[in-house]
Amino acid sequence: MTLSAYAKETLVFQNQAGKLFYQPAGYVRLAWAPERQPVEIIQALYEQVLALLKSTGARRILSDHGARAPLPVAAQEWLTTDWIPRAMSQANTHHCAIVEGADPMHRLSTQSVVSTAPAGFKFKRFDNFAAADAWLRSQALPA
């Protein structure tokens, strides 16, 4: 992602888990904090993501994992069994680009979510913002 792309973003919400931005290119961006968070704080951030997807019609997500700690197992399960199905049905969201973090344990928790997510929800993992941004912009949105 270029500096000009950042300049166009709007900070919509933040809590201890991270920050949520609206990107006018048609997606929302999560910038995660590095500290391990309780499930409730993670859920609160994701509920704001869903509200933003619904209110803007953005329908795509870029999740910048950076130095984020691995998600607790309970948060992983909640994402795959509750939040992702709701994002798909309520906001017609089917694409998530992940900018990987460096922590190998974090990558394992990410893989757990990716491998158990509902069919029809497409994740793609990247090492940098520019590639993630380009992929999201290239995805045809479902009707």
pLDDT in tens, 27-76: 999 999 999 999 999 999 999 999 999 999 999 999 998 878 888 999 99
- What pLDDT sits at residue 33? 94
| Alpha carbons within 13 A on the beta-carbon side of 122 | 13
8 confidence band (pLDDT: 50, 70, 90): confident
> Which of 65-74, 90-99, 106-115 holds the top average pLDDT?
90-99
Question: Per-residue pLDDT averaged across 97-111, rounded?
Answer: 80
Instruction: Give the CATH H-level superfamily of domain 3-138.
Output: STAS domain (3.30.750.24)
Q: Which two tokens stand for residue 27?
A: 């997606």
Tell me the average pLDDT of the chain: 90
Beta carbons within 8 Å of 49's beta carbon, 6+ residues apart: 20, 28, 30, 61, 87
* DSSP-derived 3-state class of residue 12: strand
- What pLDDT sits at residue 51? 98
- What pLDDT sits at residue 1? 47
> pTM value?
0.91
Q: If we measure between CA atoms, which residue out of 81, 38, 89, 83 comes closest to residue 63? A: 83
CA quadruple 137, 41, 9, 49: dihedral, nearest 10: 50
> Which of 69-73, 76-80, 109-113 holds the top average pLDDT?
76-80
